[in-house]
Each structure stands twice: as C-alpha cells, then as structure tokens.
Amino acid sequence: METLAVNGGKPVRDKKIFYGHQWIDESDIEAVVGILKSDYLTCGPAVDKMEEQLAEYTGAKYAVAVSSGTAALHCACIAAGIGPGDEVITTPLTFAASANCVLYCGGKPVFADINPDTYNIDPISIEQHITKNTKAVIAVDFTGQAVQSDEIRAICDKHHLVYIEDAAHSIGTEYNGQRVGNLADMTCFSFHPVKTITGGEGGAVLTNSEELYKKIVLAHTHGITHDLELMEGAPHEGPWYYEQISLGYNYRITDFQAALITSQMKKIDFFKKRRQEIVRMYDEAFASVEELILQQEIAESDTCRHLYIIQLNSEKLTCTRREFFDAMSAENIQCQIHYVPVYWFPYYKHLGYDKGLCPNAEKVYNGIMSIPLYPQMSDEDVYDVIAAVKKIVSYYRI
Ligand SMILES: *Cc1c(COP(=O)(O)O)cnc(C)c1O
C-alpha cells in the first residue's frame, strides 16, 4: 500500500533517494578491471599500494588492509591483547561491530554514555566506567565527527589503556589539524559502500606502533609468518617454509577491492568538500526550525561528515519519530536510524545487559533520523530533502 504524503498531496520527489550512496566513476572501474586482467587477485601489489597510500594520507606509520571494518576492529582487539576477563569501554550509539569485536576475543564490552549534544562518547563517562579489568577504549567518530581525542588520550595514558578509534565514519576528518588515523593507538576504517570511500567491502587498521603492527599483520592472515626473525627456531626447511606462530584469521582483502579503494581515495578531498557543502546547506536551512535539534560539533573537528542527523524535538511536534520517518518515505526520501543502542539487541540482553544503561544515548536514539547525505547529491536533491523535512515539520507542528 502506498502511503500518502502528509497533506494528502503530491510527494516532494518522484524518484526515491536513499540516505547514502557510493559514487563509482570510470576511473574506479578501470582500476578494478586492470587488476582482473593482472596476475594477482589477492596478496598482490595493489594491496601494498593501498596500505602505502592510507599511511601517507593519514600520516600514520603503518597500515594493514583487511577484508572489512569489522575485521579491522577484531584485529585491533587481538593486537591489544583483549581476552577473557578484560573490559573494553565503548559507546552504545554505534554499529554492533564496535562492541562485537570485544566479544570475539572473550572480553566484555562496557558501555559509556554519550554527550547528548555531540552524540559522541563522553570522556567523563569513560572515566566513570574504568575498573581494574579495563584494558582498552574503542571510541567511535560517530557521523564522522572526531571524538574528544585529547581527553580520551589522557584518560588512556593515565590508566594504561589501549586507545582504539573506530573511524568507520570518519576517514577524511581532522582533529586539531591531524588526520584521523594518526590519533589513537590503532584506528580502524571501513570501506563498505555506505561509507565515504568504498571497496565494496574492505577495511584497514592504522598504527604508529611497530609492535602493534606486527600483531595486526599476524592476526589478519592466520598467525602465519614468513619472517625468519619471528620463527620459533624450527629448522629452516627450504624456501617454501613458513610458520604459524599465533592463531589468526583470513581477513585479507582482494587486490581488486584494494585498487578500488586506492582509486576512490584520490577523490577524498573532493568528496569531503561536497559533503561539507551539503552539511552547510542543511545546517542553514534547519537552524531556525525549532522543532529540530541539530548535532553540535566540537571546534577541534574538521569533519568529513558521513551522516547528517536531525533530532525531533518531541515537545514541539505532535508526531512520533516513526510517523516522521514514514512521512519522509512517502515523500520518496528513504531515511535511516543510526543506531539502535547496541545493548538493546536480544543477543546483548541475553548476556545480561539491561535497558537504561546509557540514558543520553537512549533519549537521543528515540528522536534521531539520518537524512540523505552523499557527494553525488545535486543541489536540487538537497533542496528536495529540506522541503520535505519542512513540510512534515509544518504539518505536525504543535
Ligand atoms: C560500518 C561500521 C563498522 C563495520 O564495518 P564493516 O566494513 O561493515 O565491517 C564498524 N563500526 C562502525 C561505526 C560502522 O559504521
């Protein structure tokens, strides 16, 4: 059944628009086809090139390309030495993978609350959740905005914790002039198609520590090494010989994904500029709309925004978030909600997590909605989204 627009009239748009979309051009296609015609589909030079480019772009010493952002987070937790009995503090307002990676290692995710204005993890809440078992913090640059990195760094140093940054949303973002990737002990990127740069699937871990780098490399390829120095002293059998010295996984990326990511990365400055333009258009259009609460930015973050979120002010609107979401769909604008608090999921409930743990995150979750944001949107697309939001606000205004 088709839903009618709120006023029963014509929708703002004829053609459906989604909240995010990749932008693949001819140069990306050529890069992938070039690999398909080459000798290496995996473990080849395109992977090395991607790693070099990410390290150069971010300023980090080392980059390890992996098969997904989730694999990147898992490798980071392995390198951090997370195991049974260890606690890792993260945010509930994130994709499940930010916490699942701790469970993969037998550790316990501990949820700190968010700042209700920026939606990022609150350093004060991190500190309140530290126990003698805390080993690491996984801070998520939610929507692309950098977390309060100096504060988190100081907390981690004081309590000897590993600082992991889940930067799935924030490639291209700078914090105090430093690119994300060069701030935490380990930074994890995702190259899923909804993210700013895509390889179809893909991820990477960045670090400045040689020790962590070596652990990440082992973790992402079975714990197998060809490095004689790392071998345990087994006789060198011949040129074919390698050793498995820890338990790792196959988290390798393919060369055609790596080539696509490298090709996309050439356009990151342009993507960032266009994303920032669209954010500015939305900010200006919604600044005077009292029924909406906008995400606040910290001055330190020059954000390459992945998501644009509007929060409904429930005291000024007669509709529920669901009604607003459906009304946007009826205007042919497909929004999304980022995210259901992770510990609300049945799996986490069965592990003993209860609703009410993080009141700020729960309150924000109840009112938010991500509206379309991707660089290929035309100005007209942006105006359509603004018109639809304003139309629905007017209709449900108290
Ligand atoms: C997308 C995402 C991930 C997981 O990345 P995949 O590449 O899909 O595995 C992790 N954390 C956050 C915050 C994400 O948005």
Q: What is the CATH number of the domain that holds 273?
A: 3.90.1150.10
Answer whether residue 156 is part of any domain: yes
Last residue of a domain, one of 232, 247, 265: 265
Q: Does the C-beta of 168 come closer than 6 Å to ligand 1?
A: yes
Q: Tell me the residue range of the domain where 352 lies.
A: 268-396
Q: Are residues 339 and 247 in the same domain?
A: no
| Region 94-110 average pLDDT | 98
Helical (H) or strand (E) element with 386? helix 379-396
Final residue belonging to a domain, choices 265, 286, 317: 265
Same domain flag for 248 and 295: no
Pick from 70, 73, 120 the residue to mutate for probing ligand 1's pocket: most ligand atoms within 8 Å of its CB.
70
CA separation for the pair 136, 340 (Å, rounded): 23
242 lies in the same domain as 288: no
Answer yes or no: do 235 and 276 share one domain.
no
Confirm whether 3 is domain-assigned: no
Q: Please determine, for residue 1, whether its predicted confidence score (pLDDT) is greater than 50.
A: no
pTM exceeds 0.75: yes
Where does the pLDDT of residue 240 fall: very low under 50, low under 70, confident under 90, or very high at 90 and above? confident
**Site to substitute for ligand 1 among 166, 191, 201, 342, most atoms within 8 A of C-beta:** 166
C-alpha to C-alpha distance for 365 and 356, rounded to whole angstroms: 12
Q: Give CA–CA dist 368/130, Å, rounded.
A: 29
Tell me the C-alpha distance between 179 and 170, whole Å: 9
- Domain co-membership, 123 together with 246: yes
* 166 Cβ inside 6 Å of ligand 1: yes
Does residue 167 sit in the same domain as residue 240?
A: yes
Cα(69) to ligand 1 centroid in Å equals: 5
Are the C-beta atoms of residues 334 and 369 closer than 8 Å to each other?
A: no
Query: How far apart are alpha carbons 16 and 381 in whole angstroms?
Result: 10
Domain assignment of residue 12, yes or no: no
Residue type, 276: Q
Same-domain pairing of 125 and 170:
yes
Residue 5 forms part of a structural domain: no
297 lines ligand 1 (CB under 6 A): no
Asked if 368 contacts 338 with a C-beta cutoff of 8 angstroms, the reply is: yes
Ligand 1 binding pocket mutation candidate from 103, 114, 192 (most atoms within 8 A of CB): 192
Q: Give 256-280 pLDDT, tens digit per residue.
A: 999 999 999 999 999 999 999 999 9
Span from the CA of 93 to the centroid of ligand 1 (angstroms): 12
Nearest-angstrom CA–CA distance, 1 and 278: 32
Mean pLDDT within 124-131: 98
The CATH number of residue 148's host domain is 3.40.640.10
For ligand 1, the distance from its centroid to the CA atom of residue 153, given in whole angstroms, is 22
Residues 2-24: tens digit of each pLDDT: 557 887 888 999 999 999 999 99
9, part of any domain: no
What confidence score (pLDDT) does residue 8 get? 80
pLDDT tens digits along 171-227: 999 999 999 999 999 999 999 999 999 999 999 999 999 999 999 999 999 999 988
Atom of ligand 1 nearest to the CA of 142: 13
Q: Examine the fold and report which residue of 265, 292, 314 is the final residue of a domain before the chain moves on.
A: 265
Give the pLDDT confidence of 225-236 residue by residue, as tens digits: 988 888 887 667
Sign of the Cα pseudo-torsion (35, 37, 41, 46, in order): negative
pLDDT digits (tens, 9 = 90+) for 55-100: 999 999 999 999 999 999 999 999 999 999 999 999 999 999 999 9
Tokens representing residue 156 in the block: 């981690």
* Number of structural domains in the chain: 2
342 lines ligand 1 (CB under 6 A): no
pLDDT number for residue 229:
86
**Nearest by Cα to 202 from 263, 267, 111, 124:** 263
Residue-wise pLDDT for 337-382, tens only, equals: 999 999 999 999 999 999 999 999 999 999 999 999 999 999 999 9
Tell me: do 277 and 259 sit in the same domain.
no
The answer to whether residue 14 is domain-embedded is no
Is residue 304 domain-resident? Answer: yes
Residue 307 lies in a domain: yes
Residues 245 and 288 in one domain: no
Pair 36, 165 in one domain: yes
pLDDT tens digit sequence for 179-190: 999 999 999 999
Q: 68 in ligand 1 pocket by Cβ < 6 Å?
A: yes
Please tell me whether residues 107 and 171 are part of one structural domain: yes
Residue 99 shares a structural domain with residue 208: yes
